[in-house]
Structure 1
Amino acid sequence: MTESTRELVIVGVGSAPFDALLEILEERKTVTPAELKLVIADESEADPQVFANRSIAVQPIKDFAFSADQVLLLLTSDDTAKAALNKAEDAGAWVVDAAGITRGDETVALIHPLLNAAQLQSVERKVVAVPAAGAAMLAEALFPLKSRLQSVEVVLNQPVSALGKSCVDATAAQTARLFNGQEPEVDETTGQRLAFNHLSSAEALLESGHSFGELALVLELRRLLGDDIGLDATINTASVFHGQLANISVQLDDDADLETVRGLLRNGARLQMRERPSAQDAVGSENTLVGRLRSGLIKPGQFNFCAVSDNLRKDVAINCVQIVHLLLKNH
């Protein structure tokens, strides 16, 4: 099989990370226009998409034939994506799940391209999952401290784009109505107003009081950092379109000191130290920005800091493109 025969198939045209993904694929020349295929539901319609100055047709799934020469990238978790996953795996193609369809399936490797890409060499199935944006950023920020971590508590402030394209559109419409002195409609997905609001949870709560997203975040961090680390997470939603911010409290070995922690974070892969990082600083960046590092006031070995990143471009699009590149070239 030659490199020229490999194709990238994407399900998720119009999803929140789709535009950023096409930009990264074009910037890095991961695939040519002839090697890019776009698939949608049979009953849907979508205009051709522009990629590298070429028009790429969007094909209904019923008309698409999967093959072992392809890598399928899933950006949505709808029925079309699930059907595409089954068809692609049956055909022997690689599948990259960036939508959480396979979350909780231990036969599917969870791959962060910076932290454990070597696992692609020994996966059980040709289906791999990409961490959700929050887990991807937090794993990068915590990985330099991994050998000394005892426990981690996280409060993740996610933007509305983490909830999907429909929530971005709803926030924009609500903002326009508020600026015009009109009462906005409540968002159907969350049951709450998104514009000029801060949600304690955008999801319904489970019996434990956690949301599904919070437990999923803990699960993915355990798979990336190890089961021996105590983890707890809170996810709320801020009324911003893009860019996520997490406040992180870690418990390290009692002999850890502030300058050691600072040095470890400064040398972390794709980490950049800032005194007071903001989500706006991170949007468009390919780095996770960390800062506000300080000793905790409760007990020795506790340190607090924050991390921010571009949740769509960096933590979904770039991570997906890096994994796709490895699969197209080496597997």
Structure 2
Amino acid sequence: MAENNQANIAVVGATGAVGEKIVNILEDKDFPVGELKLLSSKRSAGKKVMFNNQELTVEEAEPESFNNIDVALFSAGGSVSKKLAPEAVKRGAVVVDNTSAYRMDENVPLVVPEVNASDLQSHNGIIANPNCSTIQMVAALKPIKEAFGLERVIVSTYQAVSGAGNEANDELENQTRQYLNNEEMTAELLPVKGDEKHYPIAFNALPQIDVFQENGYTFEEMKMINESKKILHAHNLPVAATCVRLPFFTSHAESVYVDVEKGGLNVEDIWNVLREADGVTLQDDPSTQTYPTPLSATNKEDVFVGRVRKDLDHDKGFHLWVVSDNLIKGAAWNTIQIAEHLIENKWL
């Protein structure tokens, strides 16, 4: 550890959409950083980044980059994490990985601090940050599960293009311009860069996020299903997901249906537990049209919940509208919260 309870931090993928947010939050939160090392691909190495009034040079990520590093925050793609995370651990760092590389590894904790922070104690050097759409849903579900039990979850997502990176933001901008100028829209990235077909996202909705699996669900949908069960310690909980990309830049929204175990509840019962939940803000007043939106949640740390309704046909059924900034709570802030818990509890 660096002196005075400070930690030497490495950010891998420092020039990407999430990496940039991580660096900004470390500075804004006055995180106890001893040395900060910014790492990237060879292509981005050499870029200059300001941090705490100091100009830092981004370096190419190599195994030796992690010498004398306490916590390494990875957000550079699964292949990079697979290659370099073990090297970082070998050199004494604890890795918080923001990719899907280790999420379902039974030896790797998958953590949303407001939900299952105690799982951090069992880490073996690598901790996984969940998928952005999973994080906000389980943050809203945890207090409901604790108070009333959960029997079933069905979620439909409305996800921002920034979930696919800075390139996707650029593609949305370009296509919007083309559409408004009556030009043909060029699509080269979404729904999945490596897939055969690409569709415009501007003025459109794409019911595919990530590649299709053999069961007809996309990888994003399976992430939500499997990760939710792991985080909530509810491996037999039925979860179904449909994930859709929409043409806005930031914050994911979700329509979530739950069946609770306890009968005879009303909306106020759900409101009461959400009001007390860590990291959750209730914004729900139909009389004043109060509810969260992607724009209102942008650049905020909390998960916002509104439109809570009791199902009209099922006594134990409730509907919720859940919104959160996918780059903040859905990625960078959750990653940093994990690092904070590790340092504060001396779990490094």
Q: Which runs of 5+ in 2 are unaligned?
A: 192-197, 285-290
Residue 198 (structure 1) aligned with residue 205 (structure 2): yes
Q: 1:65 to 1:307 in 2, by over 3 A?
A: closer
Offset of 1:80 from its aligned partner?
A: 3.6
Among 230, 244, 248, which residue is 2:238 paired with?
230
Offset of 1:112 from its aligned partner?
A: 1.2
**Could you say which residue in structure 2 is the equivalent of 1:70?**
70
Deviations 1:243-297 (A, max 9, x none): 1110011101252411222211222212222232211111122221111111112
What TM-score, normalized by structure 2, do the two folds share? Answer: 0.88
Among 261, 264, 277, which residue is 2:292 paired with?
277
Alpha-carbon distance in structure 2 between the residues aligned to 1:120 and 1:294: 34
Among 214, 218, 223, which residue is 1:211 paired with?
218
Q: 1:314 to 1:65 in 2, by over 3 A?
A: closer
Read off the aligned partner of 2:117 and give its amino acid letter: A
Deviations 1:121-142 (A, max 9, x none): 232x110001111111001110
Offset of 1:206 from its aligned partner?
A: 2.0
Residues 150-299 of structure 1 mapped to structure 2, 5 A cutoff: 150-190=151-191, 191-225=198-232, 226-258=234-266, 259-275=268-284, 276-299=291-314
Deviations 1:17-66 (A, max 9, x none): 2222222110111144x611011223544411111221111112348442
Deviations 1:156-200 (A, max 9, x none): 111101112211121112122222222121133421111121111
Alpha-carbon distance in structure 1 between the residues aligned to 2:35 and 2:264: 50
Read off the aligned partner of 1:230 and give its amino acid letter: P
Alpha-carbon distance in structure 2 between the residues aligned to 1:97 and 1:91: 16
- Residue 17 of structure 1 aligns to a residue in which SS? helix
- Residue 220 of structure 1 aligns to a residue in which SS? helix
Alpha-carbon distance in structure 2 between the residues aligned to 1:46 and 1:171: 28
- Residue 198 of structure 1 aligns to a residue in which SS? coil
Q: 1:69 to 1:61 in 2, by over 3 A?
A: closer
- Does the 8 Å contact 2:16/2:76 carry over to 1? yes
- Does the 8 Å contact 2:96/2:127 carry over to 1? yes
- Residue 135 of structure 1 aligns to a residue in which SS? helix
Offset of 1:326 from its aligned partner?
A: 2.8
Read off the aligned partner of 1:305 and give its amino acid letter: L
Read off the aligned partner of 2:109 and give its amino acid letter: A
- Residue 188 of structure 2 aligns to a residue in which SS? coil
**Could you say which residue in structure 1 is the equivalent of 2:150?**
149
Read off the aligned partner of 2:99 and give its amino acid letter: A
Q: Which runs of 5+ in 1 are unaligned?
A: none
Alpha-carbon distance in structure 1 between the residues aligned to 2:41 and 2:80: 5
What TM-score, normalized by structure 1, do the two folds share? Answer: 0.93
Offset of 1:203 from its aligned partner?
A: 3.0
Residues 44-123 of structure 1 mapped to structure 2, 5 A cutoff: 44-62=44-62, 64-67=64-67, 69-77=69-77, 79-123=79-123
Read off the aligned partner of 1:320 and give its amino acid letter: T
Read off the aligned partner of 1:241 and give its amino acid letter: F
Identical-pair percentage: 28
**Could you say which residue in structure 2 is the equivalent of 1:128?**
127
Alpha-carbon distance in structure 2 between the residues aligned to 1:199 and 1:167: 13
- Residue 109 of structure 1 aligns to a residue in which SS? coil
Alpha-carbon distance in structure 1 between the residues aligned to 2:44 and 2:79: 12
Q: 1:67 to 1:263 in 2, by over 3 A?
A: same
**Could you say which residue in structure 2 is the equivalent of 1:327?**
342
Read off the aligned partner of 1:322 and give its amino acid letter: Q
Which region of structure 1 is more displaced relative to structure 2, 296-305 or 211-220?
296-305
